Amino acid sequence: MAKENDWTKPAAMAIPKEGYFTLEKGRYGPIFPRTPACYGFSVMAKIKPGTEEKIRAYGKTIEKAIAEVPDALAVLELHYLRWILFNIGKDTYFMYQGIFDTDFDKYTEDAVALFTKLGINTVFENLEGFPMDWKTNAPAFVKFVREHQVPSFLEYAEYPYVSAGEIKKALKLKASFSEMLDVMQ
């Protein structure tokens, strides 16, 4: 519980190969544990040849979407997102890494709905093996993500187990407090 998760004490966690310590079943597969670095996933998949520039262009699309609607991704309770393209031999791979505060099995459908709304899902259509009928075949979409999720074997946090919400609350309190001190001058 929260009391054991002391944010003042940096923590690292080594994770077994399976990605979890004990098998806990979620609706769509095993639940990956909350670590000092919160929940997260790293989805990696080979891209279809010739789609690299198309995928890169999505970077700008997302940048623009967030600039226009800053809370567009709020529902995902994210800390960070990282999209990476890298090569292994002649093949190019896409990595989608997210750090967030919800167990992604729980909010899978919310994420899919949001991605659809923002047009993010179509980036996946450039990945090999992605089910092109994903719009009417939710289980196939979830299966693809599950099959391409690579669990971490080490996660570390300087301030462990702190949620984005708690960080924002603390910063808000700090801002209010500074303001109060200013007013008292």
- Stretch near another protein under the rule CB under 8 A, chosen from 6-14, 46-54, 63-71, 136-144: 136-144
Interaction between residue 171 and another protein (CB under 8 A): no
Residue 4 CA from chain centroid, whole number? 25
Cα angle, residue 69 at apex, residues 65 and 133 outer, rounded to 5°: 50
**What's the closest the beta carbon of residue 93 comes to another protein, in angstroms?**
29
Task: State the distance between the two ends of the chain, measured CA to CA, in whole angstroms.
Answer: 41
Whose CA is closest to 97, among 49, 141, 155? 155
Length of the chain equals: 185
Interaction between residue 18 and another protein (CB under 8 A): no
Window 94-133: residues binding another protein (CB under 8 A): 106-107, 109-110, 113-114, 116, 133
**CB of 19 or CB of 46, closer to another protein:** 19
**CB of 116 or CB of 126, closer to another protein:** 116
Contact 54, 127 (CB under 8 A): no
What is the Cα–Cα distance from 135 to 120, expressed in whole angstroms? 13
Rule CB under 8 A: which residues touch another protein? 1-2, 24-28, 75, 106-107, 109-110, 113-114, 116, 133, 135-139, 163, 165
